[in-house]
Structure 1
Amino acid sequence: MRVLLRRIIFFVLFLLTTSALLAWLALRGSLPQLDGSVPSKAIGASTTIERDALGSVTISGSSRRDVTWALGYVHAQERFFEMDLMRRSAAGELAELFGAAALPLDRRARVHRMRARAEASLAKASSTDREVIGSYTEGINAGLAALQVRPFAYLLTRNTPRPWTGADSLLVIDAMYFSLNDAGNKRELAFARMKAALPDTAYRFLTASGGWWDAPLSGPAMRWPDPPGPADLDLRNLDKSLLQDAEPAADVAPGSNSFAVSGALTGGPALIANDMHLELRVPDIWFRARLIYPDPRRPGARIDVSGASLPGTPAIVAGSNRSIAWGFTNSYGDFADWVRVLPDPAARDRYLTAEGSAAIDTHVESIAVHGADAQSIVVRETRWGPIMAEDVDGTPLALAWTATHEGAVNLELLKLETAETADEAIAIAHQAGMPAQNFLVADRFGSIAWTIAGRMPLRVGGFDPLLPADWSKPDTGWKGWVAASDYPQISNPPQHRLWTANARIVDEGRHLELIGDGGYELGARQKQIRDGLRAREHFTAADMLDIQLDDRALFLDPWRKRLLALLDKGVAGTGRDAMRKALDDWDGHASINSVSYRIVRAWRNEVRDTVLDAFAGAVRRQHADFKLPRLSQAEHALWSLLELRPAHLLPPGYASWEELQLACLDRVAVNLEKQPGGIAARTWGERNTARIAHPLSRALPGFVARWLDMPADALAGDSNMPRVQSPDFGASERFAVAPGDEEHGYFELPGGQSGHPLSPFYGAGHRDWVAGKPTPFLPGPAIHQLRLEPAAR
C-alpha cells in the first residue's frame, strides 16, 4: 500500500512538474528575439534594432520605410496583445476575445461603426500615408509570425491572434478619441435635463466655464455667476426622497501637464516638459523608441527622433528630433454636439434637414462572441452621426462627433520628425488628424509656441453647443473644419513661459468660441504650474522635474483652514477631537504618511457631494433617474455657497451651513474610525496605493495576478496639483528635454517597456517612476542587437 501511495505521489508530482515545465516553455516561446539576425524580403538594406538595459529601442536604417517596418516588427513582438486591445476597443470587438462579459463595451463602441469608417479613411488616404501604413502593417505581421508561440495572453484566453490590417492602425488612433473624449457625450445630455428642470440662474451657476482658479495663457480669470435667489430656487423644502447617497464625483480625468520655457530662460535651446495623464496599466501605453534614418531633404544628414511611440501606429507621438521637442495635453474643447432629429411628418424613417427630407440609414452590426453565438445591434445613422439618445421632450438625438467625421484621422503628425522650427511644427499640428489637443513645442533656436493640434469643427448658426440643437435650419450646424489660419496660437510670449494642464487656455472671444467648453479642468493645477514657472528665472531639466513632482496641497489648504476654524467653534466630540488632533501632522503636501491630508480631502469631498446632490434632487423632480455629470468647475460654486451661506440653498435637513459642514465631518470621522487602527492610522498612502495591473490579472488567481501587476506602492500626489496621482491613474510618462541637448533630458515610464512577464524589460524603469528618479531621455548603451537583413525577393 505504501509503495502504491509513493508511486501515486510521484506520478502527481511528475505531472505537476511536467505541466509547469511545458507552461514555462510555452511562455518562453513567445518572447521576442533580441539578438541575431532576421532575413526579410521587405527590408531594402540592413537595419538594426538595439535595446538598452530598460528595453528602450533604437532602430537605425537606411530609409524611413525600413525603419517603419522594423518598428512594426518590434511593436508586434513586444506589445501585440495590447495593440489588439486598442483596435478592438475602438471597433467594438472585445467580446470576440473575452466572451459575453465584454458585450456592453462592444455595444457602446459599435454604434460608432469605427471599423467601417477606418476602412473608408484608409481608402481615401494619400499614397504616402498608405505606403507608411502598409510598411508598418507588414512589419507587425512579420514580427507576430516570427514568434515561436503566440503571445502568452492568447494562450490564457484560448484565442489565436488575428493578423493586423492597415485599418487597425487608424483604429488605434480612434481608440485615443475614446480615451480622451466622452464618446457618449453624457455631460451635455445631463446639461439638457438641468436646463429644462432648473431656473436659468441655477443652471448658469452650476455650469459656468471658469472662475478665480483660472490661469489661462491669455486674458484674466472668469467671474463666477452669483447663486440663484430664493425666488428662483429654494432647496430647503425639497423632498428628501429625491436625495441620494451620491457616488463620489471623479477627481481625475484624462489629461496631462505640459509646459515650456524659451531660450531666454535656459541660455540655449528652449526646454519642454510633458507628462500625459492616463489610466495606468502593465505594460504602459507608450513604448520608448529612437528612430534614426537619412534625412530625405538633406543629403548626408540624418533624422534622429526619440520619445514615446504608440504601439499600433508608426509615429513618435511626443518627443524630440534634435531640432524641435513637443508634447500634448487634453484640450477639453467641445468636439461633440447633440442634434435634434426631427421626423418627416410625411414619411416614416425619414428626417428633416436644411436641404429637405433624408432617409435614416440602418446598419446591422454583428458582434462576434468568444464561446457563444454572435450578437447583433441595429445602428440608425443620420448625416450628422448615429442616433444614440433622446432629448428631454422625447425627440431623437444624433451625435455629431469629430472622431466619426471624414478627415478626423491621418498621419500628418509623422511630419514632426523632420520639422526644424516651432513655426513649422505649429503648421503641421493644424493639419493633424487626431483628437484635438493642446500642443506645445520648443525648438533649438530658443522659441516656444502653443496651439491646438487636431481637427476642430466649424460651427455656424449661433446655436448653443452645450445643448441639443435643431440643425434642420439653413446654415446651422457644422460646416467642415476650422481653417488652419483661424486656429488660436501663442508664440514666444513676453514672459518666456507657456503652460497647459487641461484648463481653459485662451481669453473669452472668438478663439474660445472655436475651441468650445468640453468640461475644462479646474485651473488649480494649471495655476500651480504657472506659479512654479514664474518663481524661477533660469531653468534646467531638473527644475522641470521639480514642477512635475510638485505635490504641494495648495488647493486644499483653504479647506484645511476652514475645517480648523469650524472645529474651534463646533461642539467637541470623540470623533471630532480625534480629527482635530490628526490635523496637526499637516505638512502642506499630498504625502504618503499624511493623515491630515486624507482627512481634509475626504471632508471637502463629502461637503461637495452633499451640497451638489441637493441641486441634482431639484432636477429629479422632473427626471427621477438624473445624476449630475462631472462638474469640473464646481469648486467655484461650492466655495461661493460656503462663503455667502444662502439659507434657501441649504439641502433639506440642515439648519445652517455650519451644521452641514459638521455633519459631513462626523460622517467622515465615523467612516475612518471604524477601520483598523482608527483615524490616526488613515494615511494618504493607504488610500492612494498603486493598483497598476495587467489587463488579464483580474481574471487570474491572486498569486499569478501579483506576478503580473506592479507592486502596491503608496503614492504621493493627487488631483488639483502638478503631481497627478491616483491608484491607477497618473503620469503615463514624464519627460523634459531641450532639442539638440537630448543627452541632458530625462524620460520616466511606469509599468515597463515589455508586455511579456518573462522579459527582462517587464516592469523595467517602473521603480524610477515611483520614486520620481530621472532616467536618461536617450536610450543607454545597447545590450542587445538584432539585425534585419534584406533577403532575395
Structure 2
Amino acid sequence: MLGSTMKRLLRVLAWLLGLATLAAFGVVLAAYLTLRASLPQVEGRIALKGLSAPVEVVRDRWGVVRVRAASLEDLFFAQGFVHAQERLWQMEFQRRVGQGRLAEVLGEAALPQDRFLRTWGFYRAAESAYERLYPEEKRAVDAYVAGVNAFLESGAPLPPEFRLLSFRPEPWTGPDVLVWAKMMSFDLSMNWEEELLRHRLLARGVSPERLLELLPPYPEDAPTILQAEDLNLPLSREEAPAALLRLAPPRFLEASNNWVVSGSRTATGKPFLADDPHLGLQAPSLWFLMALEAPGYRVIGATLPGVPGIVIGRNERIAWGVTNVGADVQDLYLLEDVGGKGYRYKGQVVPYRVREERIRVKGGKEEVLWVRETHYGPVITDALQDPPKTPMALRWVSLDEEDHILMAFLGVNRARNWQEFTEALRHYSAPSQNFVYADVDGNIGYIAPGKFPIRREGHTGMVPVPGNGEWDWQGYRKPEEWPKVLNPKEGFVVTANHKVTPKGFPYALTYDWAEPYRAERIREMLLAKEKLSLEDMKAIQMDQKSLLFRDFRPVLELLNPLSERSRTWRERLLAWDGVADRASEEALVFALWYTELTRLPEKEVGQPYWDEPRYLLRAMREGDKNCDQPGTEYRETCLDFAALALERALDRKEALRARSWGEVHQATFPHAVLTHTPLKRFTDRRVPFGGDRYTVNVGPFVPESLQMTHGPSYRQIVDLSDPEASLFIHPMGQSGHFLSPHYADLLPLWTRGGYLPMAFSAPGGERVLLLEPGR
C-alpha cells in the first residue's frame, strides 16, 4: 500500500503535470522518486568533510532534533547541516532578503523590495560586523557555515523550490548568518515609520494638540514592567513635555508575552517561566526546535534557521524568554540638501558618499542603483515610493560597524546563574528585548539589554530632527543603566510590550508602548490564585478574554439601536462574557463593530483605520468633531456614530454569511514564494482562530480581510522544579519541505493549545543519524 506521503505526492504531481491517462504513470513515478529523494536523510550515516568527531542527530516522532557532539565547533557544524537539511529554502530566501537579491530569482516584481533593502545596506552592515567578530563568535559562525556548505556539497537533492525557480544556491558565508539578525532587528525596530508618519500628519495640518487627543499618552495608572519600589526611584519626575511625546499611532508592533513567577507563588515552590513571541505567521515556521549538547554546553529551545545556537529556551540550570521592548533606536534626520550633491552639516557643505548597487534581475536585466550615504547613514527616503519633499537620512544602531549579538546569545546559552546571564547580555545590541529569567535555585529576574541612544535634551526621538549636527546622538547608555531587577517584591514579572519603566526612571526607552490590555489580563490571572500550577500557565497562554470588550461594553449600554436586529445584537453582546473564542458569534459581531468604530477619524488622518482604543472611548464619552457625519442635516453624536457602526457591522456579517468568529478570522501561514502560484493549495495553511489584537492569546487581524497574519510563533513553559517536564511548541512543523510528514503536523496541536515535551531525552519514536568525519 502507498504511504500517506507518496499518496500526497502523487496527487501533487498529477495536478502539476495535468495527467489524464495512466500512460504517463512512468513520468509520475520518475518525478515522485526525484522529489522523494529531496526529503532529508534522517537515519543511517553520512560522512562529512570538516567534522573532527562523530555527531549524533536524533529526531523524535515530531521531527524535533537533538544533537550531541564532542566539541562546540562540531555541534554548530551539525546544527548548520541539519538546518540546511530541513529548511534550506527558507534560509536561502532569508539571506536573499538581507542581501537585496530577490529579483535575481523572482524577477522584476521583486525590484522595489530589492531597491529598498539595498538602500538601507543590511548586508553591508553584516559584512562589517563579521569582520569585527570576537574569536569565539567567529568560530561559531564559521563552524555553522561549514555545516551548511557540507550539506550543499553532499550531493543531496535540493528542495523543490530551487527546482521550480531553476537555480542553485551559492556557498554560504559568515555575513549570510549575521544578516538575518539584522532583518529581525529591522522587523522589531520600526520607529522610523512612526517618525515619518508623524511628519506627514503634521504636514496635513493636524496639530500636536489634536494628535494628543487622537492618541493619548500611555495611561498613568496602567501597569509598568518594573516597579518603583524595586528600583528605589523617586516618585515624581516628568519624562518630557507630553506634547512632544505622542504624535501618531504606531502600526501593529511585533508583540509578545512573557512572564516569570517566583516559587513563593507556585504550587511547586520553584519558578515557572512562560514565553510566546508574536511574529509573522509563515510556512514553514520561523522557528526550529532543537536540543544542542557538547561539553560545557547543553541547551534546548527555539532556534532560527540560518543562525547558530538557541534564541529562546533553557539549559540545565536557567531558563529565559524574550518579548520586544520596542525601544526607539532609530532616528530620521532632515537634510538641508545642496544641489543633490551634498548636505549642510555643522556649518559646512558635506558631499554625499555615493555607493553603487547593481541589482540583477531574472531574465538578464541589470539595474544600477546609486545610494547616498551621510554622516548618519543612508538617505532612505530615496527608496520610498512616495518620498517626502525633504530628504531624510537614517541613524540606526543595527547599521553600526560592530555588532556582537551572537556573542550575547552564546553566553546566555551557557549561563548558570543571574550573574553569568547578565554578564553575557552586556554584548547585546538590538533589537532590545524584555528578557525574563529563572533558575533552579529559585531566583527570577528581568533585564532589557540593548544599545540605547543618548539624545540631547529636547530630542524625544518621536519626530525627524534637522541633520545639521546639532541633534546627533551622544553615545549609548551603559549596561549598568539598563532596566533590570532580580527577585522583585511582587513575586513575578509580566511583559507584554507595555511600558517598561515606572515614573522616576532617569531616561526614556521610547514613548510608543503597546496598550496595556494583555499585561493587565496576565496580571489578573496570576493574582487570581494563591498558588499557581503548570496548568495555570497553559491557561494564561491560551486565554482569549477581551478586555477591549470590557472597556467598550458601557458604550453598548448607552447605544440607541437603529433597527430591531441591532437591538437584538446589542442585548446579546451585553450578555456576552467577552471570551473571543473562535466558535463565538458574539466575538465576530464585536470585532466587526469595533473595526467600524476605528474608521471614525478616517478623513482627518488620511487612513481608513485608526485602532486607538482610548481615543475612541473618549470620543464615545465626551464627543469628537469626527462623529458628525457630512452630508446630513442632523448633527450626529458619537453614540449615533456607534449605532451606525453596529448597523454596518451587521451588514458585513450578513455579507460574510458567517456564524462564528473562526469562520472568517483565520490564522494564515503563507509560503514566501509559492503562495503566489497555483501550488499554494499544497504549501499554504489556514486554521480558524479566536482572540483579537488585545487578548493574551493574540489574534490581530487585517481589517479588510479579517485574516490573522501575526500570532504566537512559539510557546514555551519552563518548570524550574522539574525542567524535563517543560513544554514548547510552534505552528506548522519542523520541516520546510511541503511533502514531508513534518511540514504541518504541529499545526493542529498548536491551534488547540497542545505542547511538546521540552526535554533533552527524546519522547520516543526516534530516528538516529550519525554524522561522521569524512575525507
Please indicate, yes or no, whether the TM-score normalized by the shorter chain is above 0.5.
yes
**Offset at residue 714 of structure 1 (A):** 1.6
Secondary structure, counterpart of 1:663 in structure 2 = helix
**Offset at residue 48 of structure 1 (A):** 0.4
Say whether the 8 Å CA contact 2:46–2:771 is kept in structure 1: yes
1:576 pairs with 556, 566, 582, which one? Answer: 566
- The corresponding residue for 1:749 is 730
2:111, 2:617 → 1: CA distance? 42
1:324, 1:219 → 2: CA distance? 24
Q: Does 1:308 align with 2:302?
A: yes
Secondary structure, counterpart of 1:590 in structure 2 = coil
- The corresponding residue for 2:11 is none
Q: Does 1:384 align with 2:379?
A: no
- Unpaired stretches in structure 1, ≥5 consecutive residues: 1-10, 229-248, 296-302, 617-625
Q: Could you state the TM-score of these two structures normalised by the residue count of structure 1?
A: 0.86
Say whether the 8 Å CA contact 1:69–1:136 is kept in structure 2: yes
- The corresponding residue for 1:67 is 75
2:440, 2:289 → 1: CA distance? 22
2:168, 2:683 → 1: CA distance? 21
- The corresponding residue for 1:707 is 682
Paired AA for residue 772 in structure 1: G
2:469, 2:607 → 1: CA distance? 32
2:163, 2:285 → 1: CA distance? 21
Say whether the 8 Å CA contact 1:320–1:739 is kept in structure 2: no
Q: Deviations over 1:128-151 (max 9, x none)?
A: 222111110000011233253111
**Offset at residue 551 of structure 1 (A):** 0.7
2:381, 2:357 → 1: CA distance? 18
1:260, 1:488 → 2: CA distance? 16
- The corresponding residue for 2:198 is 191
Paired AA for residue 623 in structure 2: R
1:470, 1:480 → 2: CA distance? 18
- The corresponding residue for 1:237 is none
Pairwise mapping of residues 578-617 of structure 1 onto structure 2 (< 5 A)? 579-580=569-570, 583=573, 586-610=576-600, 612-616=601-605
1:145, 1:375 → 2: CA distance? 32
**Higher mean Cα deviation, 403-412 or 549-558?**
403-412
- The corresponding residue for 2:142 is 134
- The corresponding residue for 2:4 is none
1:110, 1:588 → 2: CA distance? 46
Q: Does 1:489 align with 2:484?
A: yes
1:13, 1:614 → 2: CA distance? 59
1:785 pairs with 753, 765, 768, which one? Answer: 768
**Offset at residue 538 of structure 1 (A):** 2.1
2:20, 2:569 → 1: CA distance? 57
Say whether the 8 Å CA contact 1:329–1:437 is kept in structure 2: yes
Q: Does 1:688 align with 2:644?
A: no
- The corresponding residue for 1:549 is 542
1:253, 1:48 → 2: CA distance? 40
Say whether the 8 Å CA contact 2:316–2:723 is kept in structure 1: yes
**Offset at residue 69 of structure 1 (A):** 0.3
2:164, 2:669 → 1: CA distance? 20
Q: Deviations over 1:665-723 (max 9, x none)?
A: 222222222343xxxx432111212322333442332xx4333233x432122220100
Q: Deviations over 1:81-124 (max 9, x none)?
A: 10111111122111122111211221221111122221121112
Pairwise mapping of residues 340-489 of structure 1 onto structure 2 (< 5 A)? 340-343=334-337, 349-354=341-346, 356-389=348-381, 394-408=389-403, 410-412=405-407, 413-474=409-470, 476-489=471-484
Paired AA for residue 493 in structure 2: L
**Offset at residue 561 of structure 1 (A):** 3.9
- The corresponding residue for 1:776 is 757
- The corresponding residue for 1:645 is 623
Q: Could you state the TM-score of these two structures normalised by the residue count of structure 2?
A: 0.88
- The corresponding residue for 1:163 is 171
CA, structure 1 residues 112+509, in 2 after alignment: closer, same or farther (shift >3 Å)?
farther
1:757, 1:199 → 2: CA distance? 52
Paired AA for residue 789 in structure 1: E
2:547, 2:590 → 1: CA distance? 12
Paired AA for residue 271 in structure 2: A
Paired AA for residue 552 in structure 1: K
Secondary structure, counterpart of 2:286 in structure 1 = coil
**Offset at residue 392 of structure 1 (A):** 11
**Offset at residue 359 of structure 1 (A):** 2.0
- The corresponding residue for 1:234 is none
**Offset at residue 268 of structure 1 (A):** 4.2
Paired AA for residue 520 in structure 1: W
- The corresponding residue for 1:764 is 745
Q: Deviations over 1:281-327 (max 9, x none)?
A: 122111000011111xxxxxxx3200001110002000001111111
- The corresponding residue for 1:256 is 256
1:389, 1:651 → 2: CA distance? 36
CA, structure 1 residues 355+410, in 2 after alignment: closer, same or farther (shift >3 Å)?
farther
CA, structure 1 residues 47+659, in 2 after alignment: closer, same or farther (shift >3 Å)?
same
**Higher mean Cα deviation, 392-401 or 277-286?**
392-401
1:602, 1:752 → 2: CA distance? 32
2:131, 2:344 → 1: CA distance? 30
CA, structure 1 residues 697+649, in 2 after alignment: closer, same or farther (shift >3 Å)?
same
Secondary structure, counterpart of 1:597 in structure 2 = helix
Secondary structure, counterpart of 1:375 in structure 2 = strand
- The corresponding residue for 1:664 is 645
Secondary structure, counterpart of 1:39 in structure 2 = strand
**Offset at residue 21 of structure 1 (A):** 1.7
1:740, 1:19 → 2: CA distance? 57
Pairwise mapping of residues 187-336 of structure 1 onto structure 2 (< 5 A)? 187-196=194-203, 197-211=205-219, 214-218=222-226, 252-266=252-266, 267-295=268-296, 303-336=297-330
Say whether the 8 Å CA contact 2:58–2:66 is kept in structure 1: yes
Paired AA for residue 187 in structure 1: E
Say whether the 8 Å CA contact 1:291–1:306 is kept in structure 2: yes
CA, structure 1 residues 564+593, in 2 after alignment: closer, same or farther (shift >3 Å)?
farther
2:551 pairs with 554, 558, 561, which one? Answer: 558
CA, structure 1 residues 212+223, in 2 after alignment: closer, same or farther (shift >3 Å)?
farther
2:681, 2:69 → 1: CA distance? 39
CA, structure 1 residues 669+395, in 2 after alignment: closer, same or farther (shift >3 Å)?
same
Q: Deviations over 1:729-780 (max 9, x none)?
A: 2111111103472221111110100111232322232211111022211242
Paired AA for residue 45 in structure 1: A
Secondary structure, counterpart of 1:379 in structure 2 = strand
2:371, 2:748 → 1: CA distance? 46
- The corresponding residue for 2:705 is none
2:476, 2:250 → 1: CA distance? 32
Say whether the 8 Å CA contact 2:397–2:429 is kept in structure 1: no
Secondary structure, counterpart of 1:660 in structure 2 = helix
Say whether the 8 Å CA contact 1:260–1:271 is kept in structure 2: yes
- The corresponding residue for 2:8 is none
Query: Between Structure 1 and Structure 2, how many residues are aligned?
Result: 727
Say whether the 8 Å CA contact 1:430–1:487 is kept in structure 2: no
Secondary structure, counterpart of 1:458 in structure 2 = coil
CA, structure 1 residues 592+189, in 2 after alignment: closer, same or farther (shift >3 Å)?
same
Secondary structure, counterpart of 1:556 in structure 2 = helix
Paired AA for residue 278 in structure 1: L
Q: Deviations over 1:28-60 (max 9, x none)?
A: 121111111122331122210100001111110
Q: Does 1:23 align with 2:24?
A: no
Say whether the 8 Å CA contact 2:602–2:610 is kept in structure 1: no
CA, structure 1 residues 646+104, in 2 after alignment: closer, same or farther (shift >3 Å)?
closer
Calculate the aligned-residue CA RMSD, in Å. 2.9
Say whether the 8 Å CA contact 1:442–1:738 is kept in structure 2: no
